[in-house]
């Protein structure tokens, strides 16, 4: 995760000393195991999969990596960028982990998102002398991650950094490009992450939360970091984070498709279909919050006056992601994750039955969205957004587990279902 800090290290004395750096105190190494090794949404998936990694069969080449939940995908951040999380505390001891496979698994996760703006969050607590990768592995990992992976990473947040990480950065700062160096951010307390991403959507390990509480408790009252701000009570005209059924009841015309979706899709249909990389770029977070506040205050939002395609695209994704229940609903989670087991001859019929079982508001909104995305894909020679690319962007915004976070093993089936829905939308919605 911090491989960009480690250019070709070689075998000089500094490298040898770094290898001996103490990463955590003995006390830190004695934290209890996480309360639950698996998320609730994953343990509910299907008895056809082993409970250790329910979305991958036991003989899958990456089963032994996925089951640890070291790497997760956690929706979008406050800027509309995909969030990839790396949990150091979930790395088992050296002899229990194939580090080469871990590297390939990380690359497999990033490969789905490197063409879009994305954010990396690295929870450093729990990396010890027993589970830390060798410096030679970090050097090899750095070589693996070429410009393709670095170009669109907009920020790397290192949470709970230790002297080990800080020393690496100091020693090798001259070798790190100035451009990438500006993307590295130290985060001392979890509350500081709220400015970047809603921590509720991150499945933060219990060990990390306990460690954060311990750090805060050790500070003098005058030095206490700010706590995460409490959630504001909903405004009378709240739109974001409100159930679709409630929005329909409030709509003067009883339209089942929410106004945010109508506004953004109408504007994007007019001005965004030929925009290269539509839905892949982030937007100014201040403007995003301003637009959200205007909607939540009952004001009319005119995207045509703002003329910002990427802003409208981020608002659409943010609206979907902030729904209290995903558009495809928790009820269909297991069916969708296991959809790959349906024979190709029956997929359209099964998919049609699934979407038609949705509440009326969800079905209408899904049809409205997918019909629009089919238009986007029809212009893929110009905008570069094929059905596969759109599925990667929208899959995590259409369905997620009850704990919000998803490992690579969970997100693959969801994205595949979304791609198939886009491919067959003319048959599914007839």
- Is 105 within the bounds of a domain? yes
- Is 145 within the bounds of a domain? yes
Q: Are residues 248 and 172 in the same domain?
A: no
Q: Are residues 250 and 186 in the same domain?
A: no
Query: Would you write out the chain's pLDDT as a tens digit for each of its 430 residues?
Result: 333 333 333 334 433 443 444 333 333 333 334 433 333 333 333 333 332 334 566 677 788 888 888 988 887 888 888 899 999 999 999 888 888 889 888 888 788 888 888 999 999 999 988 998 887 787 777 777 777 788 888 899 999 999 888 887 676 666 566 777 788 899 999 999 888 888 877 889 999 999 999 998 888 666 566 665 555 666 778 999 999 999 999 999 999 999 999 999 999 999 999 999 899 888 888 899 999 999 999 999 999 998 899 999 999 999 999 999 999 999 999 999 999 999 999 999 999 999 999 999 999 999 999 999 999 999 999 999 999 999 999 998 999 887 665 656 678 899 999 999 999 999 999 8
- Look up the pTM and report it: 0.69
Q: Are residues 292 and 392 in the same domain?
A: yes
Q: Are residues 191 and 90 in the same domain?
A: yes
Quick one: CA dihedral 192, 83, 40, 317, positive or negative?
Answer: positive
Contact 84, 109 (CB under 8 A): yes
Domain housing 282: 244-429
- Is 30 within the bounds of a domain? no
Q: Are residues 369 and 254 in the same domain?
A: yes
H or E element in which residue 238 lies: none
Both structure tokens of 45: 């998936």
Q: Are residues 291 and 364 in the same domain?
A: yes
Quick one: CA dihedral 328, 67, 119, 88, positive or negative?
Answer: positive
Contact 156, 165 (CB under 8 A): no
H or E element in which residue 197 lies: none
- Is 377 within the bounds of a domain? yes
- Is 229 within the bounds of a domain? no
Q: Are residues 213 and 254 in the same domain?
A: no
Q: Are residues 157 and 208 in the same domain?
A: yes
Both structure tokens of 249: 């009841």
Q: Are residues 212 and 355 in the same domain?
A: no
Instruction: Indicate which CATH number applies to the domain containing 378.
Output: 1.10.555.10
Query: What is the C-alpha to C-alpha distance for residues 46 and 53, in angstroms, rounded to an integer?
Result: 10
Closest CA to 192 of 78, 334, 48: 78
Contact 278, 267 (CB under 8 A): no
- Is 227 within the bounds of a domain? no
Taking the alpha carbons at both ends of the chain, their separation in whole angstroms is: 46
Tell me which of 184, 218, 252 is where a domain ends. 218
Q: Are residues 130 and 208 in the same domain?
A: yes
Total of domains in the chain:
2
Instruction: Indicate which CATH number applies to the domain containing 208.
Output: 3.40.525.10
């Amino acid at each position: 995760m911090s491989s960009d800090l480690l250019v070709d290290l070689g075998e000089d004395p500094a490298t040898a000393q770094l290898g001996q750096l103490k990463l955590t105190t003995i006390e830190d190494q004695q934290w209890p195991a996480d309360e639950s090794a698996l998320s609730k949404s994953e343990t509910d998936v299907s008895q056809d999969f082993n409970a250790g990694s329910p979305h991958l069969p036991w003989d899958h080449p990456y089963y032994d990596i996925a089951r640890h939940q070291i790497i997760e995908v956690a929706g979008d951040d406050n800027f509309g960028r995909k969030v990839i999380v790396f949990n150091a505390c979930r790395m088992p001891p050296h002899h229990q982990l194939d580090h080469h496979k871990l590297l390939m698994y990380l690359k497999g996760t990033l490969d789905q998102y490197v063409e879009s703006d994305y954010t990396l969050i690295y929870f450093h607590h729990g990396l010890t002398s027993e589970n830390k990768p060798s410096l030679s592995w970090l050097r090899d990992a750095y070589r693996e991650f070429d410009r393709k992976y670095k170009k669109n990473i907009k920020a790397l947040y290192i949470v709970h950094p230790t002297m080990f990480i800080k020393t690496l950065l100091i020693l090798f700062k001259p070798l790190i490009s100035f451009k990438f160096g500006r993307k590295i951010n130290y985060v001392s307390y979890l509350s500081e992450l709220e400015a970047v991403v809603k921590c509720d959507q991150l499945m933060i390990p219990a060990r990390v939360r306990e460690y954060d509480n311990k750090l805060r408790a050790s500070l003098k009252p005058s030095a206490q970091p700010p706590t995460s701000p409490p959630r504001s009570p909903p405004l009378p005209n709240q739109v974001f984070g409100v159930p679709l059924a409630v929005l329909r009841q409030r709509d003067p015309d009883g339209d089942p498709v929410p106004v945010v979706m109508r506004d953004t899709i109408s504007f994007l249909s007019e001005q965004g279909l030929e925009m290269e990389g539509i839905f892949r770029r982030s937007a100014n977070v201040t403007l995003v919050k301003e637009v959200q506040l205007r909607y939540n205050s009952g004001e009319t939002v005119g995207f045509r006056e703002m003329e910002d395609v990427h802003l409208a695209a981020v608002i659409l994704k943010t609206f979907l992601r902030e729904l209290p229940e995903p558009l495809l609903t928790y009820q269909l989670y297991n069916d969708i994750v296991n959809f790959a087991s349906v024979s190709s001859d029956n997929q359209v019929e099964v998919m049609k039955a699934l979407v038609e079982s949705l509440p009326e508001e969800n079905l209408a909104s899904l049809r409205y969205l997918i019909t629009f995305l089919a238009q986007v894909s029809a212009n893929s020679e110009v905008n570069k957004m094929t059905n596969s690319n759109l599925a990667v962007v929208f899959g995590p915004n259409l369905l997620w587990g009850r704990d919000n976070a998803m490992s690579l093993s969970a997100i693959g089936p969801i994205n595949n279902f979304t791609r198939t829905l886009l491919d067959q939308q003319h048959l599914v919605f007839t």
